Amino acid sequence: MSEFLQHLINMLVLGGTYALLGIGLTLIFGIMNVVNFTHGVLYTFGAYIMFIVVQQLGLNFFLALPVAVVAGWLLGAVIELTLLRPLRGSDIDTTMLVMIGAWIAMQSATLWIWGGVAKSVATPFPEAPLVLGPVSVSWLRLFVLAAAALLIVVTYLLINRTKLGCAMRATFQDQDTASLMGVNVDLIYTSTFAIGSSLAAAAGALLGPVYVIFPQMGDLAAVKAFAIVILGGLGNITGAVIGGFILALAEELGAGYISSGYRDAMGFLIIIAVLIFKPTGLFARSERVG
Amino acid sequence: MRAAITILTLAAFASVPLWLRDPYLLNALITTGIFMIAAMSLNLLLGFTGQLSLGHIAFFGIGAYVSALTSLGFDIGLPGGFRLVHEPWPPIVGFVLAILVAGLCGYFVGLLSFRVRGAYFVIVTISFAEVVRLVALNWVELTQGPLALTNIPSITIGLPGLGELTLRTKFHNYYLVLAVAAVAYLLISRLVHSHFGRAMRGLMENETLAVSVGIDVTRTLTLAAVISAAIAGAAGSLYAHYIRIIDPEVFAFINTVTMVIMVISGGKGSLAGPVVGGLIFGLLPVMLRPIMAPEAQWIAYGGVLIVILFVLPRGIVPSLAQRFAKRKRKAAVVAVTPVAFSERAKEPA
């Protein structure tokens, strides 16, 4: 039983960052209809920003997170303006392949700049974990969960309470009508991609110190994000949050009770199962395109 | 005209080992040829049915593992205390089994994944390839996991009058790959120009319309997937018996991307496209090696993919063909015009 409780605690910590990844991708996928293969690179990028700020510049650990968010936002905006805007209106396969090209180039650039050796980040948290009865959790992981929860709430408010969020939701529902109502669709696209990218970078900056940082760390993260989006339904933020926790639970239980070698297979199996048995996602609100 | 070009190209390819003495370049050409076969099979799906399968490496890898395991033998435990022991069989049997098993996998994957389209199809196919990779990595008893299957025997064929010939050298393997590539090319070419090929293209152009004229979508797509997977399996088998060592890295996503780049750059939906794209992108790393670090090469790879999609979105072969046709038309116009003018000039006289 205590083992199960421990899995639940781990699930909460993992699920929080997965939810961040999923929200970012579901916004981009849902609003722009772009299969964003650079999402994993943005995750890696966020982790390396953490490494630069904390280890190379020697600045405060808590400062690194907002820096990573802003850097992710900027890089996302640059990708959108240079690669996606010129391709507006071309078919989904073309943008997907361009994103794959950008992913390969950026990941190789990371490898070139920082090398393939895994990096770790020193944290200001005590080594001894917090022990709560039969389970224990490290302070760092608690901080990660809290920061992820904060970012999720901020994003939720941004989408549901602000004018920008309203325009984004309108664009998701019907791009042409939104455009007729005076929504600057180009601006919405760039903002959406930048926001989604900054969330991916935040997830990387949060999970980087928990594990280690290396150039290919984003590959699995990207696939997991796809699993979450498919699980939660396209463009559905609440679905992405729940999907993030479901995936984390499946991974924890899969690693704990089946085999740790198949931990990462859970995301793929979920994708295949959901798309075959319930292709609209578990919490679909709207019709799925494509 | 077209047949003449094909035969000339084939003859040019066949002459290469006779004058190319550099073993490194020959090796690059053989692996390029193997990936070119896989790219041709991908083109059947991507170019003629319009389905972007990004899990194609799974069939290549399954072919490689089936062929290697058939010729190496294995001994695995089954649930209930039974053991499945397989004595090594000749590699050529492995080659045939690789084609059959990969085709069968193509059938089941097609049956399941063609229920969704577009981005969702792409993601299902990627997931399938990754699951297969994780199984190859973790089923150590069968696949040796990351320790790799080593000492895979070379393919041996019985030639009438010459006895047994073991294809161990690069010289032999080059002709083996060339022969399989030629057969694959011919097969795909016949298929595309058949009734079935027209059904596939009809589907790609407009699925609703194709259904309304009585094309069985699932059957057509699944058949295309089976043939495509079987050819990829054959390429995987060639790879296993040529490289003679395979590990789960063969399933890496980047290998699928390499095939996709070959198809897209050469021109999807063009028979010669994967051949041209394959030659360029198979040999590009060889040419870049002396001047660039490996990481920089990959940056260039990604950059070139983006540039091609921006500049030649339809691929090299279709774009060139179009330009050639345009120039021909223009030349015809130029040839006609002076005559027309001179005739008109004569008229008043």
Domain for residue A253, yes or no? no
Residue B251, both tokens: 């399933």
Kindly list the residues from chain A whose CB atom is less than 8 angstroms away from the CB atom of residue B264: 97
Contacts of A58 (CB under 8 A, 6+ apart): none
Which pLDDT band holds residue B344 (cuts at 50, 70, 90)? very low
CA distance B259 to B277: 9
Domain for residue A208, yes or no? yes
Domain for residue A191, yes or no? yes
Length of chain A: 290
Q: Is a pLDDT exceeding 60 seen at residue A146?
A: yes
The interface predicted TM-score (ipTM) is: 0.82
**A247 burial via Cβ count (<10 Å: 0-12, 13-18, 19+):** buried
8-67 in chain B: CB under 8 A from chain A: 52
Mean pLDDT of the region A84-111: 88
Number of H helices, E strands in chain B: 14, 4
Tokens 């050639």 belong to which residue? Answer: B324
Beta bridge partners of B239: none
Nearest by CB to B127, from A271, A289, A290: name it.
A271
Nearest chain A residue to B312 by CA distance is A94
CA dihedral A67, A70, A76, A77 (to 10 degrees): -140
Domain for residue B316, yes or no? no
Check residues B246 and B169 and name the one with the higher pLDDT.
B246
CA distances from A45 to A70, A203, B32, B321 (A): 12, 10, 33, 42
Nearest one of A26, A20, A24 to A236, comparing CA atoms? A26
- Residue B286 phi/psi, 5-degree rounding, is -65, -40
Domain for residue A267, yes or no? no
Nearest one of A237, A252, A287, A285 to A20, comparing CA atoms? A237
CB A213, CB A120: distance < 8 Å: yes
Strand runs labelled E in A165-234: none
CB A102, CB A37: distance < 8 Å: yes
Strand runs labelled E in chain B: 74-77, 83-86, 156-159, 163-166
Looking at residue A78, its amino acid is V
Q: What is the pLDDT of residue B349?
A: 42
Domain for residue B167, yes or no? yes
Check residues B345 and A97 and name the one with the higher pLDDT.
A97
Domain count, chain A: 1
Task: Decide if B138 touches A, using CB distance below 8 A.
Answer: yes
CA distance B98 to A102: 34
Check residues B126 and A281 and name the one with the higher pLDDT.
B126
Q: What is the pLDDT of residue A236?
A: 83
Domain for residue A26, yes or no? yes
Check residues B346 and B28 and name the one with the higher pLDDT.
B28
**B234 burial via Cβ count (<10 Å: 0-12, 13-18, 19+):** buried
Residues spanned by the domain of A109 = 2-216
- The region of weakest confidence among A21-25, A245-249, B342-346 is B342-346
Residue to substitute from B259, B295, B304, interface A, most A β-carbons within 10 A: B295
pLDDT digits (tens, 9 = 90+) for B241-293: 998 889 888 888 888 888 988 898 888 888 888 999 998 888 887 888 788 77
CB atoms within 10 A of CB B146: 12
CA distance B319 to A67: 45
Domain for residue A66, yes or no? yes
CA distance A183 to A152: 25
Domain for residue B232, yes or no? yes
Nearest by CB to A272, from B128, B257, B264: name it.
B128
Domain for residue A273, yes or no? no
Domain for residue B235, yes or no? yes
Pairing status of strand A135-137 against strand A130-132: antiparallel
Q: How far apart are the first and last CA of chain B?
A: 45
**Taking the CA atoms of chain A, what radius of gyration do you get in angstroms?**
19
Domain for residue B274, yes or no? no
pLDDT digits (tens, 9 = 90+) for A191-206: 999 999 999 999 999 9
Q: What is the pLDDT of residue A284?
A: 58
Domain for residue B289, yes or no? no
Q: What is the pLDDT of residue B343?
A: 44
**A128 burial via Cβ count (<10 Å: 0-12, 13-18, 19+):** exposed
Task: Decide if B257 touches A, using CB distance below 8 A.
Answer: yes
Q: What is the pLDDT of residue A285?
A: 52
Task: Decide if B239 touches A, using CB distance below 8 A.
Answer: no
Kindly list the residues from chain A whose CB atom is less than 8 angstroms away from the CB atom of residue B293: 112
B295 to chain A nearest CA, in Å? 5
Domain for residue A272, yes or no? no
Residue A49 CA, chain-centre distance (Å), reads 16
Domain for residue B93, yes or no? yes
Mean pLDDT of the region B81-91: 80
Which pLDDT band holds residue B335 (cuts at 50, 70, 90)? low
Looking at residue B345, its amino acid is A
pLDDT digits (tens, 9 = 90+) for A26-60: 989 888 888 888 999 999 999 999 999 988 888 88
pLDDT digits (tens, 9 = 90+) for B14-38: 888 888 888 888 888 999 999 999 9
CA distance B346 to A164: 72
Domain for residue B208, yes or no? yes
Task: Decide if A98 touches B, using CB distance below 8 A.
Answer: yes
Q: Is a pLDDT exceeding 90 seen at residue B85?
A: no
Q: Inter-axis angle of helices A139-161 and A163-173, to 10 degrees?
A: 70
CB atoms within 10 A of CB A5: 13
Q: Is a pLDDT exceeding 70 seen at residue B67?
A: yes
Which pLDDT band holds residue A220 (cuts at 50, 70, 90)? confident
Three-class secondary structure of residue B1 per DSSP: coil
Q: Is a pLDDT exceeding 90 seen at residue B324?
A: no
Maximum average pLDDT range among A113-122, B34-43, B282-291: B34-43
Are residues A276 and B115, on separate chains, in Cβ contact within 8 Å?
yes
**A32 burial via Cβ count (<10 Å: 0-12, 13-18, 19+):** buried
Residues spanned by the domain of B27 = 20-254
What mean pLDDT value characterizes chain B? 84
Domain count, chain B: 1
